[in-house]
Structure 1
Amino acid sequence: MRTILIVIAALIIGAAGGVFLYTRFVPPPNDVIARAQAYEGDRDYFFQNASELYPTRTVSGPEASTPLPQVEGVLDGFNYEHDGERRTLAELYTDMETSGLIILRDGEIVHESYGRGADAGTRFTTWSLVKSITSTLVGVAVAEGKIDSVDDPLSKYLPEVAGTSYEGVTIKQALQMSSGVRYDPRLWEGKMDDTIEFMTKSVITGQKPAYDIAISFKREHEPGSKFNYNTAESQVLLELIRRVTGMSAADYLEQTLWRPLGMEHDADWILDAPGADGAEIGGALFNATLRDWARFGLFIEQGGIWEGEQILPVDWVERATVSDDPHIKPGEVHPNPNRGYAWHWWTYADGTFTASGANGQTLYVDRENDIVVARASAWPAGYVREHDDQTFDMYKALTAWFAREEIGSADADVNAAEAP
């Protein structure tokens, strides 16, 4: 039985990014096994069509979307260095199994391309990238006065966590994945024992809903003292959103962000049960087009402001994307020493940050230089260090490229002003 669970977990979770799919809505076990075997090895289909396989809740966009202007030629000649060799954006598709790439500069699309059978209408599954959306919904709830402070204990809004490992844990500590609660996906080490436990209890046997499983793990450390990447933490935060708003997370996302931001397409969020009782998976399995990933990134890049309206608290983005405690600073949380952590965002020492999902899903934000990069991929494993390093090199090269463009424009303006 354990071998079967590992096979299913590897296909649905490990190959899909160390994500646990807490789903009680499943066919009989034989059909689950057949489904897993049917999609074995076909990452592209699964990553681009996950919402066809499981119950979902739709996040509807507005009748008219907010246009993203497209500018040609801005990145003509762009390349970057990695391991002593020059690489181009086209080589992202061959080197790193990229399925789609959008680069925004000053809110304009300066590059958009697709591969591996995808196009502008493909709803890519985000895997853990959605954790940053879950975090942002907490921020919206704070702005609306539904949550008083991130320093409040979770038990203020979720009284049932009293007596569990989440007793005394604050919202901020959960956002930082610093609750001290044990959970061991460590997908970069290939370990997912707790993930398999989630699969057994929810997807395979349907014993419990996702949230109930999430609060069942034991505590290992004092809250706020140690980082531990814990997808269950995101499920607790999603339940917090459901509880304080009285809405499903999908409906709250639609009302507060998806429609106001003028998203181009509907999205969908996989549930842990069909129908009204189903809860969205707070740490994975949100499905949306790449342009709408980019719009969300642009909203964050602008400090939570959209068309002049401050949707998030004024200081939310700054607080949510800075590693302000020693145990979450770069070098302390991830095998890649460039990475730190904040409120469900991965941070870099230069002030840039990214929402990341396994197998190469990324939403990179450089607020200082007005750059947003959205990329969907189908890496062969949840984490590939070589690919991560190359991605980082590409980001840094983009910053340098646009800085050079600005210098060139400034020189041109000066020369024009001095011309007789």
Structure 2
Amino acid sequence: MIALIKTIQRILLIITLAIVLSVGFLFVQEPLVMSRLGGMLLGKKPGVQKIVMSGDGLSIKSNLGEKTINQQTLNEAIAYARETKSHALLVFHQGELQLEEYFPGYDKKTLSDTNSMHKTILAILIGIAIDQGFIGNVDESASNYLSEWAKDERMQITIKQLLQQSSGIRYPPFSFNPTGEWMKFMNGDDTQNIALNQPLEKTPNSEFAYNGINPQNLGLLLERATKTSYSDYLSENLWRYMKDDAFVILDSEKHATTRMFCCLDATARDLLRIGLLILNKGKLGDSRIVSETWIREMITPSDLNPNYGYLTWLGTKYQENRIYNNKSSATGFHSEPFVDEDIIFLDGFGGQRAYIIPSKDLVIIRTGAIVWDWDDAKLPNTISKGVN
């Protein structure tokens, strides 16, 4: 028995030494990525935070009288939100906030990481830049602004293809390897260099492939077209209509590149304002933020994916497991078809969501803990069925 215990102890010691040596080797290979990964375990951001200044913000009216949505329905939605460790659940219907629920430890001033919801906000900014004349139109070659692409086959890629995730440009597949390209793109200090130097992998407009490379290059295109940093353009043209300051993440002090495919921290109420902007076809209150034409284009199904417009998800066709790209096994789960076929939604990793249903004059916001098996049908269908 004593011999067995000693053998087990030796095995555990060998395993521990192997882990320590492996981690040490990775630290030597990629010290920044490894330190940032370690920091993330402690709640730190994988980069440098930069403030996005807000303004007065559209006033949001709360319903103090009889609800326009069945109370039992709202209770079911709250129960699901609590079950999935949500931070906030907001339901806006017919011009009033019918539900504003914050869970223990969170309130209306809490900033949540929106993850890929940021992509749709970037699409709105591209529309604003077109309205302002900085960008000609979506059928332009992206190489008109990304000169690095002007002398190779990437000159075929249009702005529209970047918006519809159909550019054909190579993108690194997900990997836990800290020395791999995906991890460097997500957590390294030179995000733009990785994005800008991806080669063409497929013929443009031949395959839908949801990834971060397309929006990151779109963000650079926006900066070059407007000659303005991303965070400043976001603040001056969109976030000044919000109520609370937000934060974006820069890859480093040296390169100061915003991660524009993810990593915007904002309050649930301001995410609601983004939803209302889409619901109201480019307006917030009396302010025209972006043209109605642009919002219509954003929510028009693309040729290669009926459930995707311009960096924005749609509920046009039922898919139980919504595919992101062919390099990943990850899917978006839908337990049943959407009740409302005109639903539009912002999809942030792990269940960060904004659901917009124009036919019901309804916007739903959920932020919270990462949920690996998030059910995209649950909240919008439950609430939609309860509309009085």
- Taking only aligned residues, the RMSD between alpha carbons, in angstroms, comes to 3.0
CA contact (8 A) 2:231 2:248 kept: yes
CA deviations over 1:35-64 (Å, ceiling 9, x no partner): 634653x7xxx4xx64xx6312211112x3
| Secondary structure of 2:231 counterpart | helix
**1:376 and 1:69 mapped to 2: Cα distance?**
20
CA change 1:192–1:238 in 2 (3 A) is: farther
| Secondary structure of 1:166 counterpart | helix
Query: How far off is 1:151 after superposition?
Result: 0.6
The answer for the alignment partner of 2:76 in structure 1 is 88
Consecutive unaligned residues in structure 2, runs of 5 or more: 1-18, 317-340
CA deviations over 1:243-262 (Å, ceiling 9, x no partner): 11111111111111111x2x
The answer for the alignment partner of 1:12 in structure 2 is none
Does residue 328 (structure 1) correspond to residue 301 (structure 2)? The answer is: no
CA contact (8 A) 1:185 1:194 kept: no
Between Structure 1 and Structure 2, how many residues are aligned? 343
The answer for the alignment partner of 1:60 in structure 2 is 53
Does residue 398 (structure 1) correspond to residue 386 (structure 2)? The answer is: no
CA contact (8 A) 1:269 1:280 kept: yes
**1:242 and 1:183 mapped to 2: Cα distance?**
21
| Secondary structure of 2:265 counterpart | strand
Q: What's the TM-score once normalised by structure 2's chain length?
A: 0.80
> 1:103 is matched with which residue: 91, 98, 101?
91
**2:58 and 2:91 mapped to 1: Cα distance?**
17
Give the residue type in structure 1 aligned to 2:378.
D
Give the residue type in structure 1 aligned to 2:142.
L
Query: How far off is 1:195 after superposition?
Result: 9.9
Give the residue type in structure 2 aligned to 1:397.
T
Query: How far off is 1:306 after superposition?
Result: 2.7
**1:3 and 1:129 mapped to 2: Cα distance?**
35
**1:379 and 1:297 mapped to 2: Cα distance?**
21
Does residue 282 (structure 1) correspond to residue 260 (structure 2)? The answer is: yes
CA contact (8 A) 1:130 1:283 kept: yes
The answer for the alignment partner of 1:408 in structure 2 is none
> 1:376 is matched with which residue: 364, 367, 379?
367
Does residue 361 (structure 1) correspond to residue 352 (structure 2)? The answer is: yes
**1:194 and 1:224 mapped to 2: Cα distance?**
31
| Secondary structure of 1:362 counterpart | strand
Query: How far off is 1:78 after superposition?
Result: 3.2
The answer for the alignment partner of 1:271 in structure 2 is 250
> 1:199 is matched with which residue: 158, 183, 186?
183
Query: How far off is 1:164 after superposition?
Result: 5.1
Farther off after superposition, 65-74 or 170-179: 65-74
The answer for the alignment partner of 2:333 in structure 1 is none
CA contact (8 A) 2:70 2:386 kept: no
CA contact (8 A) 1:185 1:192 kept: no
The answer for the alignment partner of 1:248 in structure 2 is 229
The answer for the alignment partner of 2:324 in structure 1 is none
CA deviations over 1:147-184 (Å, ceiling 9, x no partner): 11001010112211224563210000000000012225
The answer for the alignment partner of 2:208 in structure 1 is 227
CA change 1:185–1:94 in 2 (3 A) is: farther
The answer for the alignment partner of 1:318 in structure 2 is 296
CA deviations over 1:213-232 (Å, ceiling 9, x no partner): 11222323211121001101
CA change 1:123–1:360 in 2 (3 A) is: same
The answer for the alignment partner of 1:79 in structure 2 is 73
CA deviations over 1:287-346 (Å, ceiling 9, x no partner): 111100101110111000233343322311111112141x212xxxxxxxxxx1110001
The answer for the alignment partner of 1:24 in structure 2 is none
Does residue 343 (structure 1) correspond to residue 310 (structure 2)? The answer is: yes
**2:160 and 2:179 mapped to 1: Cα distance?**
24
CA contact (8 A) 2:29 2:179 kept: no
The answer for the alignment partner of 1:131 in structure 2 is 119
| Secondary structure of 2:355 counterpart | strand
Q: What's the TM-score once normalised by structure 1's chain length?
A: 0.74
Percent of pairs with identical residues? 27
Q: Which of structures 1 and 2 has the bigger CA Rg?
A: 2
**1:316 and 1:344 mapped to 2: Cα distance?**
13
| Secondary structure of 1:78 counterpart | helix
**1:101 and 1:3 mapped to 2: Cα distance?**
42
CA contact (8 A) 2:178 2:184 kept: no
Does residue 173 (structure 1) correspond to residue 152 (structure 2)? The answer is: no
